[in-house]
Amino acid sequence: MRLFATAVFMCWAAAPALAQDETIGIRVREWFERMAGTAEAQDNNSNSTKVDLTNDLGLGNRNQATEVQGYLHLPLAGSIYVGWWRAHDSGSEILTRTIDFAGQAFTVSTEVDSQFTLDVGYLMYEFDFPTIPIGSLVKLELGASVGVRIIRGDGSISGGGESGKDSGIVGLPTLGAHATVKLFDFVRAEVEVLGLVFKYANSEVQYLEMYAEATVEPLPWIFAGVGYKLAEVNLQHDGSNSFHIHVDISGLYVTVGFRF
């Protein structure tokens, strides 16, 4: 919430310097997300178990995540976006079965502490098609994007005197589409979908991200609203030290930002 409050303060403090045209902007999303899925890690060809984050580890609670995004709009050329978001979940659970994770065995009835974190950083270029007027009050804006995502997954399980931990990082290109409807120039509804399936060497990534958002602009330089975001990440690396993370992260968010 500190990032969210800081963004609001910056919006008001910078008011005199902001111009009417949208050229540079920053937005913060405070995401109330829930993580679900599976994780598997193998150390030096050891046994491994596909661990369910919810059923085995008791994760899947609603958590708060922050996304920070900056963008630059270039007239007639499109827009450049750069950003980062993180999803994290942790908890304790008594195992109902024996599991193997990252070279360690955790027996049934053991109380374990676990945590899983996913960091996603991105750089994206979006080509903006000409605005389509719909009557005198409504405008439709369409865009197509190409970019790169850097994804890092980290997980650990400990309990009964044992501790297993593994992590992995991968980069992949993405393609996407973006649609915006403007009403009266101060009400905006947006939908964006992007992703790709990418495989190289011993790694494979399947990535899908989408959001729907509605915002209002009480002043030309500030906007705020609500939305819903979904991210699906399937990250796999094969070898003697292999890992496989397949998670879905979804939930409502609030957003605030400013532009000048």
Look up the CATH number of the domain holding residue 217: 2.40.128
Q: pTM for this one?
A: 0.84
Tokens 């009964």 correspond to 160
Structure tokens at 81: 């976006």
Domain count, the chain: 1
Instruction: List the domain range (segments joined by +) for residue 73.
Output: 2-249+252-256
Please report the DSSP string for 167-224 in residue order.
EEEEEEEEEEEEEEEEETTTEEEEEEEEEEEEEETTEEEEEEEEEEEEEEEEETTEEE
Q: What is the pLDDT of residues 162-213, one digit of tens each?
A: 898 888 788 889 999 999 999 988 999 999 999 998 887 777 889 999 999 9
pLDDT at 13: 41
Q: For residue 8, is pLDDT > 50?
A: no
Query: 104-108, 132-136, 177-181, 195-199: lowest mean pLDDT where?
Result: 195-199
Q: For residue 142, is pLDDT > 60?
A: yes
Q: For residue 47, is pLDDT > 50?
A: yes
Give the pLDDT mean for 136-142. Answer: 94
